[in-house]
Amino acid sequence: VRLLTVGSIAFDTIETPRATRERIIGGSANFASAAAVHFVAPAMVGVVGDDYPEEWLAALRARGVDTSGVRREPGESFFWHARYHDNFADRTTVTTRLGIFERFDPRVPEALRDAELVFLANITPDLQARVLGQLARPAFTAMDTMNLWIRTAREKVLALVPAVDCVLVNDEELAGLTGAASPFEGLRELARMGARVVVVKMGPRGSVLFAGGSFFWAPAFPVADVVDPTGAGDSFAGAFLGCIGAMGGAGPRDLKRALLYASAVASFAVEAFEPRALLGLTRDRIQERYMFLRHLINY
């Protein structure tokens, strides 16, 4: 089963209260695909500049990620600079430079057009829509977005909602998209807009799923030592969709299980800078955290 992701393939500069790392590997497509390798065969569509390390793309391929949809063009790769404040609760975007994404015309390789699962990760809603339009008949499609696009291209983001099966956003984005005061209201509102499955990610407070008229909550795994929360949401989404693909269904039980696996995988993402550690995870380590979370909500 294949999961096609379109999203940013970035350099990130990250400042946390404890450390600063410059121009490291980031981007929503990288985090989502690195998380998904443990469940399905991921493929990425995106663009990098001539400054982007081939070594990273080779590391992805070595773990089974299809990068045939990643174009390399002359110019600067997507760049994002963010600063986390005390206890990681808030972050400020210092800079976003689209670079070569600005004039990127995505073309999904022929061999990837019949991918079963599709994730429209953070990138301009125009690019998300253009990729979606090239796909044959995906069984399950999901989208994410970011505050920048909600601010600058809100109508385009909203136009995509009824075109996908699932919307995954964080609590701030949910509030920005719907204007709702609580996550529960916001999820209902997004469902009214046409998404069949909606998920809100709330960081250390876990995530809530709304599907088929009922809610489900998955706790976050209690991480002792947060290093960098960047990409947690994308890793969550990659694992969530990967799990749906691996289970072969999106019924109520499948979705709940996928939410717990997503929570388990996202907890590894916050323990390190960059998506590299995600690539190296083992099934056993993921399973251990998944079981912990299951017990946490079982009585």
Based on the shown chain and the rule CB under 6 A, indicate whether residue 5 belongs to the binding site for ligand AMP.
no
Kindly tell me which residue out of 51, 64, 73, 96 binds ligand AMP, with binding defined by CB under 6 A.
96
Among 188, 166, 135, 172, smallest CA distance to 254 is for 166
- Closest approach, Cβ 9 to ligand AMP, in A, equals 9
Based on the shown chain and the rule CB under 6 A, indicate whether residue 27 belongs to the binding site for ligand AMP.
yes
- Closest approach, Cβ 1 to ligand AMP, in A, equals 23
Q: Give the x/- contact pattern for ligand AMP in 215-234, rule: CB under 6 A.
A: ---------------xxxxx
- Strand pairing report for 10-15 and 2-6: unpaired
- Closest approach, Cβ 30 to ligand AMP, in A, equals 7
Q: Pick between residue 148 and residue 202 the one whose CB is nearest to ligand AMP.
A: 148
| Encoded tokens for 141 | 């499609």
Q: Quick one: which segment of 4-12, 154-162, 176-184, 248-256 binds ligand AMP (CB under 6 A)?
A: 4-12
Give me the helices (H) in 90-248, please. 125-132, 147-152, 154-160, 171-178, 183-192, 232-247
Q: Pick between residue 116 and residue 229 the one whose CB is nearest to ligand AMP.
A: 229
Q: Pick between residue 37 and residue 116 the one whose CB is nearest to ligand AMP.
A: 37
The count of residues interacting with ligand AMP (CB under 6 A) is: 17
C-alpha pair distances (Å), 33 with each of 41, 42, 118, 205, 282: 9, 6, 11, 24, 15
- Closest approach, Cβ 147 to ligand AMP, in A, equals 8
Q: In what order do the strands lie in the sheet with 166-170?
A: 66-72, 41-48, 2-6, 117-120, 140-143, 166-170, 197-201, 207-211, 214-218
Q: Pick between residue 164 and residue 232 the one whose CB is nearest to ligand AMP.
A: 232
Q: What is the DSSP letter of 4?
A: E
Kindly tell me which residue out of 3, 10, 239, 250 binds ligand AMP, with binding defined by CB under 6 A.
10
Kindly tell me which residue out of 5, 67, 77, 122 binds ligand AMP, with binding defined by CB under 6 A.
122
Kindly tell me which residue out of 2, 3, 4, 12 binds ligand AMP, with binding defined by CB under 6 A.
12
Based on the shown chain and the rule CB under 6 A, indicate whether residue 99 belongs to the binding site for ligand AMP.
no
Among 200, 198, 230, 241, smallest CA distance to 43 is for 241
139-158 residues near ligand AMP, rule: CB under 6 A:
146, 148
- Closest approach, Cβ 229 to ligand AMP, in A, equals 6
Among 107, 148, 96, smallest CA distance to 125 is for 148
| Encoded tokens for 250 | 């999106």
- Closest approach, Cβ 278 to ligand AMP, in A, equals 12
Count H helices and E strands in the chain, helices first. Answer: 11, 13
- Strand pairing report for 10-15 and 91-97: unpaired
Among 207, 177, 205, 211, smallest CA distance to 191 is for 211
* AA identity, residue 200: V
Separation between Cα atoms, residue 289 and residue 295, nearest integer Å? 10
Kindly tell me which residue out of 34, 40, 108, 123 binds ligand AMP, with binding defined by CB under 6 A.
123
Based on the shown chain and the rule CB under 6 A, indicate whether residue 169 belongs to the binding site for ligand AMP.
no
Residues that bind ligand AMP (CB under 6 A): 8, 10, 12, 26-28, 80, 96, 122-123, 146, 148, 230-234
